[in-house]
């Protein structure tokens, strides 16, 4: 049966992925209230349609940080794509290039950055950074992504500590023992330090550290995870180039605002001084429209990308069986 919407892809992926993988992708923090509210909040918003407009020729193109994309729908940073599809982030990068949209590659990518860049050389890529306690290691990684042609640096601000994800605890999921994070690992090849022997997130990072990041790169810096007027104003004060309004898909701090409910406050606070994007809960074209109407320059999708990779696995298996 043809899959007609993202909910169909979600159901398809749930049937085919191992339970621990599915729970890792879908799980939220604590009671998962914020995860669910991300979607419910869109349903509370009503449209006020205006008619008798000429829509014969529709152009969905726009720009983000000065780069053109074919539509205001891009790919959020999510890690461990190889859990879902063997080519992992390389397949995601190729798909983004083919679609003409931006792909934010995660620090927790399971493919080497060089391979991701090589497989989609014309694609628009940003890099999401978790600052490592070893600042020299972070500096090397930032310089590496810049040399590979990534066009922006996305700093995730809402993970001073990992969220309390009950499904992963119950499943005793330990990705660290099963996968090496190749981009962090390759920077310390001589000692062969795998992810589970490293502490990859610096919980001490604060606003004053942004000047250090700005000193080591020419890339525009985007902050992902801003939800309030106060933090948006601080982002302007610290001369960052953009904000992704996000609550980490409800995976970090349960009980915060749904992303779409925080959007208007953040947009108003920056007063047009930087671009504002949205991540979290987008499942339909109507959701995209609502985010744009409330001031987002574009939206980013997370979990649906992984559902799509799961569908790719099944499609490849079916073709193999037929041949």
Retrieve residue 258's tokens: 């749904």
Q: How many CA atoms within 13 Å lie on the side-chain side of 298?
A: 23
**Lowest mean pLDDT: which of 21-25, 61-65, 168-172, 260-264?**
168-172
Phi then psi for 99, rounded to 5 degrees? Answer: -80, -15
CB 289 within 8 A of CB 45: no
Quickly count: other Cβ atoms within 10 Å of residue 184's Cβ. Answer: 23
Give me the long-range contacts of 162-167 (CB less than 8 A, separation at least 24).
162/201, 162/252, 163/28, 163/29, 163/30, 163/248, 163/251, 163/252, 163/253, 163/254, 164/29, 164/30, 164/254, 165/24, 165/27, 165/28, 165/29, 165/251, 166/27, 166/30, 167/23, 167/24, 167/26, 167/27
Phi then psi for 73, rounded to 5 degrees? Answer: -135, 110
Query: How far, in Å, CA of 257 to CA of 199, rounded?
Result: 29
Please report the domains of the chain, with CATH numbers, ordered by start residue. 6-43+70-321 (3.20.20.70)
| pLDDT score, position 177 | 47
3-state secondary structure of 119: helix
Query: How far, in Å, CA of 277 to CA of 205, rounded?
Result: 23
CB 213 within 8 A of CB 240: no
CB 28 within 8 A of CB 251: yes
Give the residue ranges of the annotated binding site for FMN: 77-79, 106, 128, 130, 156, 224, 246, 279-283, 302-303
Mean of pLDDT values over 105-120: 95
The pLDDT of residue 179 is above 90: no
Question: Taking the complete model, does pTM exceed 0.85, yes or no?
Answer: yes
Quickly count: other Cβ atoms within 10 Å of residue 231's Cβ. Answer: 16
Residue with tokens 């969220």: 163
pLDDT tens per residue across span 16-64? 999 999 999 999 999 999 999 999 999 999 999 999 999 999 999 999 9
CB 76 within 8 A of CB 302: yes
More confident residue, 97 or 185: 97
CA distance readout (Å), 131 to 44, 139, 145: 36, 9, 14
- Maximum alpha-carbon separation in the chain: 66
Quickly count: other Cβ atoms within 10 Å of residue 113's Cβ. Answer: 21
Confidence label for 192 from pLDDT (cuts 50, 70 and 90): very low
The pLDDT of residue 316 is above 70: no
DSSP secondary structure letters along 138-202: HHHHHHHHHHTT---EEEE-S-SS----HHHHHTT--HHHH---HHHHGGGTTTT--GGGS----
Mean of pLDDT values over 117-129: 98
Residue with tokens 């069986």: 321
Q: Which residues are catalytic?
A: 248
The pLDDT of residue 178 is above 90: no
Give the residue ranges of the annotated binding site for glyoxylate: 165, 248, 251
Residues 6+ apart with CB under 8 A from 268: 229, 295
**What rounded mean pLDDT belongs to the chain?**
90
Burial class (CB in 10 A: 0-12, 13-18, 19+), 249: buried
The pLDDT of residue 199 is above 70: no
Give the residue ranges of the annotated binding site: 77-79, 106, 128, 130, 156, 165, 224, 246, 248, 251, 279-283, 302-303
pLDDT tens per residue across span 78-94? 999 998 998 999 999 99
Phi then psi for 127, rounded to 5 degrees? Answer: -120, 130
DSSP 222: E
Retrieve residue 98's tokens: 């083919």
Most confident of 92-96, 107-111, 160-164: 92-96
């Amino acid at each position: 049966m043809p899959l007609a919407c993202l909910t169909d892809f979600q159901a398809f992926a749930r049937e085919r992925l191992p339970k621990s993988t599915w729970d890792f992708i879908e799980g939220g923090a604590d009671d998962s209230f914020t995860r669910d509210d991300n979607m419910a909040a869109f349903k509370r918003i009503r449209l006020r349609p205006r008619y008798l407009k000429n829509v014969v020729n529709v152009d969905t193109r726009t720009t983000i940080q000065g780069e053109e994309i074919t539509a205001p729908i891009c790919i959020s940073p999510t890690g461990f794509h190889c859990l879902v599809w063997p080519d992992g982030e390389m397949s995601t990068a190729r798909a983004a290039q083919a679609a003409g949209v931006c792909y934010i590659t995660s620090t927790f990518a399971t493919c080497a950055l060089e391979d991701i860049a090589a497989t989609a050389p014309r694609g628009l890529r940003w890099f999401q950074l978790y600052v490592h306690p070893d600042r020299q290691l972070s500096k090397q990684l930032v310089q590496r992504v810049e040399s590979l042609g990534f066009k922006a640096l996305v700093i995730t601000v809402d993970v001073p500590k990992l969220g309390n994800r009950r499904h992963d605890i119950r499943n005793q999921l330990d990705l660290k023992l099963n996968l090496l994070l190749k981009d962090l690992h390759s920077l310390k090849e001589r000692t062969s330090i795998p992810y589970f022997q490293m502490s990859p997130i610096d919980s001490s990072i604060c606003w004053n550290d942004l000047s250090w990041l700005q000193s080591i790169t020419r890339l525009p810096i985007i902050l992902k995870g801003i939800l309030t007027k106060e933090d948006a104003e601080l982002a302007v004060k610290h001369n960052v180039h953009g904000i992704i309004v996000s609550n980490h898909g409800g995976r970090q701090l349960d009980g915060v605002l749904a992303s779409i409910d925080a959007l208007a406050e953040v947009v108003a606070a920056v007063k047009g001084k930087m671009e504002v994007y949205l991540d979290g809960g987008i499942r339909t074209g109507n959701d995209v429209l609502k985010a744009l109407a409330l001031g987002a320059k574009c939206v980013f999708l997370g979990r649906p990308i992984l559902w799509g990779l799961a569908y790719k696995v099944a499609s490849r298996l079916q073709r193999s069986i037929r041949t």
